[in-house]
Structures are given as structure tokens and as C-alpha cells.
Structure 1
């Protein structure tokens, strides 16, 4: 499983960086729970839980911070 798409954190814009962060967060979930049936069964549980949604947002934010740093904050 390729956890860093195209083996690069470089993106042309912050928007592309944010999209990459979302994709990487999804890949982490898939790597952590490789069984698609289990992920599907669990999705309604965390989709209705505010604490779970906040944690997911934190994962994306951490991924985005890493990508932003790798892109010298798009300077």
C-alpha cells in the first residue's frame, strides 16, 4: 500500500496540499483497518460521534501541517 501518493509531499498549491492531507488520512485508516467490511460497518458509529469527528479532523490537520512544511509553506 502506497501511504504517500506518488512518493512525494510536494503540491503546487495549499488546496492541493489539503486534498493530499485528506487522502493520506484516509490511507492511514485503510492501513490501520484493512478489512473494508469492518470499515463500512464502523463508519456509521464514528459518523455520529462528535469526538470521533474531531479526532479525524486532527489527523487531517497533522497531515496538512507536514505537507505545508514540506512545501516551505508555498512561499
Structure 2
């Protein structure tokens, strides 16, 4: 892979709010897909496949939820 990715933006899971944490979770999930399939044309070709598959969309939601749980814990649940 010629392009380098920072898998944890800003190298920190700390965020100011749960909303920011959720946005970070989505970004991390998207970066995971990008590093797993680095070819943009292939990702674009696959997008209609998962966009119309309920099981794949649920799996995406679960991935973001797991990332968010990790971020929430890293932020002491914003207490």
C-alpha cells in the first residue's frame, strides 16, 4: 500500500461530547473500510451491493456501535 492512513484521527479517542464521539466512530469505521479495500473504484462498485442489503447495513451499524463503545469508555462516558 503506497498511501499511509492515520487510523485514529488525531491519534486520540478523546472527544468533547458524545456527538463528537459518534462522528469519530463513523470516521474510524470508514477508514477501516478504506484500508481494507484501498481501491476507490472497487469501493464505488461495491457500494450499491451493500446499500441494498439489510444484513450488510446492520453489520455496518454494529461496527460503528462497537467503535462508539470503545470511544465512550475512553472518554469515561463523558462524566
2:47 to 18, 24, 43: 43
User: Does residue 16 of the first structure (1) align with residue 8 of the second (2)?
Assistant: no
Structural mapping, 1:28-67, within 5 Å: 28-67=32-71
CA distance in 2, matches of 1:32, 1:57: 17
2:10 to 3, 6, 10: 6
Question: Residue 74 of structure 1: CA displacement?
Answer: 0.2
TM-score when normalising by structure 1: 0.99
Count of aligned positions? 75
TM-score when normalising by structure 2: 0.94
